[in-house]
Amino acid sequence: MIKAAVLGSPITHSLSPKIHKRAYEILGIAGDYTAVEVNEETFPNFYAESSKGNWTGFSLTMPLKEIAIRYCTEVSETARRINSANTLYRLGNEWNATSTDCLAFANLLEVSTDSKVAIIGGGGTARAAAGALNTKVAEIDVLLRSPDRLVAMAEAAPDVLLTRLEMSANLDSYDLIIQSTPANAFDAHIQNLKSAQGVLVECLYKPWPTALVNRYTELGGRVISGRDLLVEQALFQIEIFSAQTFDFDSMRTQLLAHISKD
C-alpha cells in the first residue's frame, strides 16, 4: 500500500491529495495520501521520524525544496543542479530526491533554440524551469528583485546565456513567459504588458485566475495554468510512488477534470 503525503507550509490549500488519491483509484491500487504542515524548523524531526515508518514518498512544496536535499542518501543530477527537489521516495531504507517539477516543465514547454524566453523569479520553481530549458534555448531573461539569485539560476542552466532584468522590464515580445513568484508579487508590473505574442506559464493555481493571467488572456495570449503544471509533475510522482506504468495522456485528462472546479 502506498503511504505518501505533501509537505510544506502553508499546506491546507494543496490539491495534491485530491490528485494522488484519484490517480490511485484509477490505477486500482490501495493508497493513502495526506497533507502535512511542515516548515524549515520542523522538517529535521519529521524526516527522522518518517524514516522509522512505512512511508512511500513525499511531495514537497515551499519552503522545503532546497532543505530536503541535504538529508537524502541519493539526489538526482537534475535536482542537485537546480538545488531543488520536490519529490522524495524510498528505496529500501534510503531516501532519494528528485525534481518532477523539472520533468513537468520539459513536457509542457515547446521551444526552439531561438525562442525568446523570460522567467519571472529565481526560486526553486524558476530554477526547475531554467533547468528544463537548458540546451533547448540559447538565452533566457530573468526578472529578479535580487541579483544574487542569478548565480543559482546560472547553475541550473549552465548552457544558457542568462540576463538579469528588473521586475518592471517590458515583456511584450517574448515567445514564452514563466511566472514563478508568489501570489501578488508581480501585480505592480502587470500594466507594463501591452502585447501577448506567445505563451504564459503561470505557476500559481490559487488564487486563480491571477491578475497576470487575466491581462495576458485579454491581450490574446495562451496560458498554461498552475493546475497543468501541478498535474504534470504529479504524473511522474504517481509513477514513482506506485511503481506502475500508465498512459500519461489518459491520466492527465482525468486528473485535470477531477480538479477543474477547485
Do 122 and 204 share a domain, yes or no? yes
Do 6 and 67 share a domain, yes or no? yes
Distance, CA of 168 to chain centre: 24
Nearest to 61 by CA among 110, 91, 23, 19: 19
Do 127 and 206 share a domain, yes or no? yes
Do 9 and 117 share a domain, yes or no? no
Do 209 and 136 share a domain, yes or no? yes
Number of folded domains that form the chain: 2
Q: pLDDT value at position 92?
A: 84
Q: pLDDT value at position 93?
A: 84
Q: pLDDT value at position 18?
A: 98
Q: Residue 6 maps to which CATH number?
A: 3.40.50.10860
User: DSSP letter at 71?
Assistant: G
**Residues 69-110: tens digit of each pLDDT:** 999 989 999 999 999 999 999 998 899 999 999 999 999 999
Do 216 and 233 share a domain, yes or no? no
What distance in Å separates the CA atoms of residue 232 and residue 206, rounded to the nearest whole number? 17
Residue 64 phi, psi dihedral angles, 5° rounding? -105, -5
The model's pTM: 0.96
How much of the chain exceeds pLDDT 70, in percent?
A: 100
Do 139 and 241 share a domain, yes or no? no
* Ramachandran sector of residue 151 (left: φ over 0; alpha: ψ -120 to 50; beta: rest): alpha
Do 76 and 117 share a domain, yes or no? no
Q: pLDDT value at position 246?
A: 98
Residue 71, domain extent: 2-98+227-258
Burial of 126 from C-beta contacts in 10 A (0-12 / 13-18 / 19+): buried
Cell numbers for 254, please give them.
482525468
- Beta-ladder partners of 143: 120, 165
- The order of strands in the sheet holding 74-75 is 31-37, 2-8, 57-60, 87-91, 94-98, 74-75
Query: Residue ranges of the alpha helices (H) in 113-247?
Result: 124-133, 149-156, 211-218, 226-242
- Angle (CA) 213-216-220 rounded to 5° is 130
Do 129 and 219 share a domain, yes or no? yes
Do 68 and 128 share a domain, yes or no? no
Do 177 and 239 share a domain, yes or no? no
| Helix (DSSP H) and strand (DSSP E) numbers for the chain | 9, 12
Q: Residue 148 maps to which CATH number?
A: 3.40.50.720
Task: Print pLDDT tens along the chain (262 aa).
Answer: 999 999 999 999 999 999 999 999 999 999 999 999 999 999 999 999 987 879 999 999 989 999 999 999 899 999 999 999 999 999 988 999 999 999 999 999 999 999 999 999 999 999 999 999 999 999 999 999 999 999 999 999 999 999 999 999 999 999 999 999 999 999 999 999 999 999 999 999 999 999 999 999 999 999 999 999 999 999 999 999 999 999 999 999 999 999 999 8
User: DSSP letter at 197?
Assistant: -
Do 185 and 109 share a domain, yes or no? yes
Cell numbers for 86, please give them.
520536490
Q: pLDDT value at position 52?
A: 80
